[in-house]
Amino acid sequence: QVQLVESGGGLVQPGGSLRLSCAASGSVFGINAMGWYRQTPGKQRELVATVTSGSTVQYAESVKGRFTISRDNAKNMVYLQMNSLKSEDTAVYYCYANRFWADYWGQGTQVTVSS
């Protein structure tokens, strides 16, 4: 089992920045992809960004150029730097990890972009 704990969410004004962090613990050997998804009420959870153990990165079109994902394999951490935030980025952000074809999720952290 892999446990994921997110931190760094909160309230920010449009145009502002936030940095999300996610710490993985437990059976971390063999984790391949890590990343972030988000969800708003009444909608499906959607991919924001992922990074594989080989550093292949994928971003949702809506966040390209504004968000940056990074990963520290030695610390079993993944980060999401979010710049130029928009109201439509408001959501619960979930940390994600894939290990040996099993998916793991954090509990989620709320990001609210509002003036």
Q: How far apart are CA 113 and CA 58, in angstroms?
A: 23
Neighbours of 22 (CB within 10 A): 25
Check pLDDT > 90 for residue 82.
yes
- Tell me the β-bridge partners of 109: 93
Report how far residue 10's alpha carbon sits from residue 25's, in angstroms, rounded to the nearest whole number.
Answer: 23
Distance CA 43, CA 7 (A): 23
Return the structure tokens found at 2. 């892999």
Task: Please tell me the predicted confidence (pLDDT) of residue 101.
Answer: 87
**CA pair distance 23, 79, nearest whole angstrom:** 9
Chain segment 22-77, per-residue pLDDT in tens: 999 999 899 999 999 999 999 999 999 999 998 999 999 999 999 999 999 999 99
Task: Write down the mean pLDDT value for the chain.
Answer: 96
Answer whether residue 114 shows pLDDT above 90. Answer: yes
